[in-house]
């Protein structure tokens, strides 16, 4: 078969019995060889030729470690024990990425108290990629494959020197150099031929596992523990069914395992992952995630107690933590749940990895080699999970996964209904194109069939369908073949969730409240997943929304506070004091993600510590930028519900409300400028509210903490008709006229109110009546009146000569000059047995409003006020003879902030919190 220095045309595959000379077990440093089907490489190799690389290749032949399956060896003495005495560990490339990490792996194996251990190991990190790169470079006739192969040699040689010594080191290095020499000859052949068969490629790339397994087994033996290493090509027999899949031959693999163990009995076995053999004894691989698959197959062959997959994460997350920063580690998953999540892109396990262990109920544990304190995720039979809290929705929906870069194809037409074979024709076309169908949705009317394919394949599919159904489209039996690009799939996965009332409703409610439109829906009768198609740009938002609904508190809201002045800072104090109680007792999680003033702002990704927000603003504050602030609060974190709380009186800020609401940001404010500003601006905001799930609350714009807006809405929504609203809407003016009595001057009372903090810094802002007029406009518009602020006649209490005073101080100094005018009005009212009150009135019947100083009898409810109380009287068809009265404190930072806080809690209730 071999002539010195010449490659002959007489290469052939040796039959199994030709390996009978390989009866004794291998040791590190020994090599067992079989003839490799070099004829498959290239027709070029069928010719006789002489070359330097040919002599090297023929001198060494192509070596693998196949064991003769026909050996006549008694196995009774070393019969393979199966069952729970075995535990299987699998370590990926990251786990053995350096000599230090390989030592950590050895420590884990040594410290495992299982009676018997099988360790499946991958190639050192990046080595498999390097081996594939070697093939690619050689096929491309790129001579840099030589230096790359030298790098592979150096990587393993240096690692071995750091791990081993003495005979173990010498033996490994001898084998390593022997293998590298063989590979160099093989790659040279590929370089000349310009082609490598799949078998040849699989043989080359499998060397990384061979080397890492040998080093690890030697290291474990170095610690005094009996350990053998297994080349799984001797044991695992698989039948390649496609370029990406193989089917294990369990019966033959079991027989070979028993034979292997009879020759290599040991309590610790280090096996190569990823590689196997075909029934023809050709080297192959287990394709994607092959090492995990190897571990699962071995677990089933040994009927092990469990299979532990060691990786670099703490376990399986409820969602991709790169997209949802508060995704949680799942303690348990059923086999089916893990299967579904891996199909939909979650970084769990390949679905085929689960199949071998399912039949024996062998649990798979996902653990982090870099965090041994983490217990990881257990994938097992669902009956193991029965002790979990079934009242928790997260019990039924375990996780969420997404697939991006998809397109929907919708084939519809009246001619499809009731016509057998239409769906078959559609998907036969898709199959012929070679496209992968990710999801299918068909209406029961059979009017349309909708399915998702990868976006890179959609053009070919659409063109093929147009061609196939051209006649039906022209005849009108089909109306269209529609392509909807830029889509993503969101899948909710959970055991039996479809049979649990409320799960689907909760899912779709969360999407609706996040303003996410669902393009298509699919739910299988297996009850393991609910799949929806959404716009690609809304995918992360949708993922965060549903994850928040199921895994965070029932209502988690990201808040941005605009204007940390008197009211804003008081609100922050109230939030600080109540946040823990709200979360613990009401499951409402309020997180202030940003605080912005006129000059600076403070941002945080997970929520600002409200006990230190002033200090933090000094330490970490940045220049105020409203656009960046809004983007941060709304777009750069995992919480789907966003509210901006405007505690300013700024009309420019109010001008942003429409855009914020349109983006799905809720708005809460005591700022009157939006609702009392231009009518068209107000109507646009209210129209937008009715069209979406975005909320706009402004209770504190009229009566601070008093329920005036909500009372009015309650009357209107229950069918009552408003006739008139009359009230004392200004806490400042209420205080002034409650204390403006005989014996006191008007200027004295105003000065007293200013000192007590009831007035604005410039009391003219209160005395002008403009603030009351704004409240009148707000109430009038709530009643349906389309009035502008200029339509409201206002009686100003600022004397005409003082309206243009240079400063508030000048105004206060000049005000006593006009005390006589106010005293005259007060005396006239007193003589008539009445009191003066500054009121705002909405006359719905006459469709007008007014703000003025009026006289009221001393027994009138408006005359009974004290301090800065507000009072509002609703005269309606139900409350015509005796108006409905709302009375209480109407001024002060505490009550105003309390009114805003009440709106925040009302928003939480609307979003799903208990009311």
The SS3 call for residue 562 is strand
- Report the alpha-carbon angle 149-154-155, nearest 5: 95
Cβ distance 258 to 230 under 8 Å?
A: no
The Cα–Cα gap between 462 and 458 comes to 6
Question: Hey, what are 254's tokens?
Answer: 């079991």
Question: Hey, what are 706's tokens?
Answer: 């008093």
CA–CA distance from 874 to each of 4, 274, 732, 750, 856 (Å)? Answer: 112, 79, 22, 29, 17
The Cα–Cα gap between 581 and 590 comes to 11
Strand order in the sheet with 448-454: 439-442, 448-454, 399-412, 480-493, 529-535, 518-523
Cβ distance 561 to 596 under 8 Å?
A: yes
The SS3 call for residue 615 is helix
The Cα–Cα gap between 738 and 749 comes to 10
The Cα–Cα gap between 275 and 237 comes to 10
Cβ distance 305 to 85 under 8 Å?
A: yes
658: Cα separation from own chain's centroid: 28
Strand order in the sheet with 641-646: 622-623, 600-603, 588-596, 555-562, 641-646, 666-668, 696-697
Burial annotation 533-560 (CB, 10 A radius, 16+ → b, else e): bbbbebbbbbbbbbbbbbbbbbbbbbbb
Strands 666-668 and 696-697, by their bridges, are parallel
Cβ distance 232 to 294 under 8 Å?
A: yes
List all residues 6 or more positions away from 256 whose beta carbon is below 8 Å from its beta carbon.
Answer: 67, 69, 234, 235, 236, 237
Question: Hey, what are 692's tokens?
Answer: 């979406």
- For 805-851, the DSSP string reads -SSHHHHHHHGGGGHHHHHHHHHHHHHTTEEEEEEEEEETTTTEEEE
List all residues 6 or more positions away from 72 whose beta carbon is below 8 Å from its beta carbon.
Answer: none
- For 359-407, the DSSP string reads TTT--EEEEETT-TT---EEEE-GGGGTTS-TTSHHHH--EEEEEEEEE
Cβ distance 533 to 485 under 8 Å?
A: no
Nearest CA-CA partner of 246 in 208, 278, 273, 272: 278
Cβ distance 559 to 645 under 8 Å?
A: yes
Neighbours of 741 (CB within 10 A): 12
- Identify whether 775 is a catalytic site residue: yes
Question: Hey, what are 619's tokens?
Answer: 């330490």
Cβ distance 758 to 825 under 8 Å?
A: no
The SS3 call for residue 627 is helix
Question: Hey, what are 288's tokens?
Answer: 């994607």
From the list 24, 663, 775, 834, the catalytic residue is: 775
Burial of 86: CB neighbours in 10 Å, binned 0-12, 13-18, 19+ = buried
Active-site residue list = 775
């Amino acid at each position: 078969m071999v002539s010195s220095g010449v490659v002959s045309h007489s290469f052939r595959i040796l039959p199994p019995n030709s390996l009978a000379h390989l009866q004794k077990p291998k040791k590190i440093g020994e090599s067992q060889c079989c003839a490799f089907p070099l004829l498959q490489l290239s027709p070029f190799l069928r010719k006789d030729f002489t070359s330097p690389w040919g002599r090297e290749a023929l001198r060494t032949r192509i070596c693998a470690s196949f064991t003769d399956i026909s050996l006549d060896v008694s196995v009774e003495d070393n019969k393979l024990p199966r069952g729970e005495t075995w535990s299987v560990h699998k370590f990926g490339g990251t786990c053995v990425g350096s000599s230090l990490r390989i030592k950590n792996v050895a420590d884990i194996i040594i410290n495992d108290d299982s009676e018997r251990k099988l360790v499946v190991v991958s190639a050192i990190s990046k080595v498999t990629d390097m081996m594939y790169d070697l093939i690619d470079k050689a096929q491309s006739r790129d001579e840099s494959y030589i230096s790359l192969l030298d790098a592979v040699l150096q990587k393993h040689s240096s690692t071995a020197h750091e791990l081993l010594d003495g005979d173990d080191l010498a033996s490994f290095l001898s084998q390593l150099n022997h293998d590298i020499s063989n590979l160099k000859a093989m790659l040279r052949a590929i370089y000349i031929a310009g082609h490598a068969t799949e078998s040849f490629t699989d043989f080359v790339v499998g060397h990384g596992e061979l080397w890492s397994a040998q080093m690890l087994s030697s290291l474990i033996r170095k610690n005094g523990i009996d350990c053998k290493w297994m080349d799984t090509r001797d044991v695992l027999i698989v039948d390649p069914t496609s370029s990406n899949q193989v089917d294990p031959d369990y019966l033959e693999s079991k027989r070979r395992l028993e034979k292997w163990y009879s020759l290599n009995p040991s309590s610790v076995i280090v096996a190569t992952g990823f590689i196997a053999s075909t029934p023809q004894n050709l080297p192959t691989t287990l394709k994607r995630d092959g090492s995990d698959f190897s571990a699962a197959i071995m677990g089933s062959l040994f009927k092990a107690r469990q299979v532990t997959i060691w990786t670099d994460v703490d376990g399986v997350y409820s969602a991709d933590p790169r997209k949802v920063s508060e995704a949680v580690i799942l303690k348990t998953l059923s086999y089916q749940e893990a299967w579904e999540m891996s199909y939909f892109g979650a970084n769990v396990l390949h679905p085929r990895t689960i199949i071998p262990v399912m039949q024996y109920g062998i649990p798979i544990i996902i653990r982090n080699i870099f965090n041994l304190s983490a217990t990881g995720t257990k994938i097992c039979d669902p009956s193991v999970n029965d002790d979990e809290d079934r009242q928790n929705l997260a019990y039924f929906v375990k996780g969420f996964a997404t697939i991006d870069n998809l397109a929907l194809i919708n084939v519809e037409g009246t001619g499809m209904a009731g016509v057998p074979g239409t769906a078959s024709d559609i998907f036969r076309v898709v199959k012929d194109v070679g496209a992968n169908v990710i999801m299918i949705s068909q209406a029961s009317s059979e009017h349309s069939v909708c399915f998702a394919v990868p976006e890179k394949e959609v053009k070919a599919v659409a063109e093929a369908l147009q061609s196939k159904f051209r006649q039906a489209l022209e005849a009108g039996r089909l109306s269209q073949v529609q392509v909807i690009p830029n889509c993503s799939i969101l899948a909710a996965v959970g055991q039996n969730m479809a049979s649990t009332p409320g799960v689907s409703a909760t899912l779709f409610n969360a999407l609706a409240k996040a303003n996410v439109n669902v393009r298509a829906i699919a739910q299988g009768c297996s009850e393991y997943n609910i799949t929806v198609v959404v716009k690609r740009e809304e995918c992360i938002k949708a993922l965060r929304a549903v994850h928040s609904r199921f895994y965070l508190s029932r209502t988690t809201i990201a808040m941005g506070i605009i204007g940390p002045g008197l009211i804003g800072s008081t609100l922050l104090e109230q939030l600080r004091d109540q946040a823990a109680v709200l979360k613990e007792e009401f499951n409402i999680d309020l997180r202030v993600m940003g605080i912005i003033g006129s000059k600076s702002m403070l941002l945080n990704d997970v929520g600002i510590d409200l006990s230190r927000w002033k200090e933090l603003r000094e330490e970490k504050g940045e220049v105020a930028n409203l656009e960046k602030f809004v983007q941060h609060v709304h777009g750069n974190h995992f919480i789907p519900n966003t509210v901006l709380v405007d505690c300013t009186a700024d009309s420019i800020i109010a001008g942003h409300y429409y855009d914020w609401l349109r983006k799905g940001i809720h708005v809460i404010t005591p700022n009157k400028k939006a609702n009392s500003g231009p009518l068209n601006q107000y109507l646009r905001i209210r129209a937008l509210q009715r069209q979406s799930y975005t909320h706009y609350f402004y209770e504190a714009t009229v009566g601070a903490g008093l329920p005036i807006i909500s009372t009015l809405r309650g009357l209107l929504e229950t069918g009552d008709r408003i006739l008139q609203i009359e009230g004392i809407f200004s806490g400042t003016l209420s205080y002034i006229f409650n204390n403006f009595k005989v014996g006191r001057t008007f200027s004295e009372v105003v000065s007293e109110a200013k000192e007590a903090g009831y007035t604005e810094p410039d009391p003219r802002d209160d005395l002008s009546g403009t603030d009351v007029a704004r409240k009148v406009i707000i109430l009038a518009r709530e009643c349906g009146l389309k009035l502008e602020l200029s339509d409201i006649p206002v009686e100003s209490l600022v004397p005409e000569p003082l309206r243009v005073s240079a400063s508030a101080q000048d105004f206060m100094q000049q005000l006593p000059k006009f005390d006589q005018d106010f005293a005259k009005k007060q005396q006239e009212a007193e003589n008539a047995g009445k009191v003066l009150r500054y009121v705002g009135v909405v006359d719905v019947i006459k469709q007008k409003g007014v703000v003025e100083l009026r006289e009221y009898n001393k027994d009138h409810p408006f005359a009974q006020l004290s301090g800065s109380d507000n009072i509002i009287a609703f005269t309606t068809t139900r409350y015509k003879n005796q108006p409905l009265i709302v009375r209480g404190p109407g001024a002060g930072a505490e009550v105003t902030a309390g009114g805003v806080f009440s709106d925040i809690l009302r928003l939480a209730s609307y979003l799903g919190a208990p009311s």
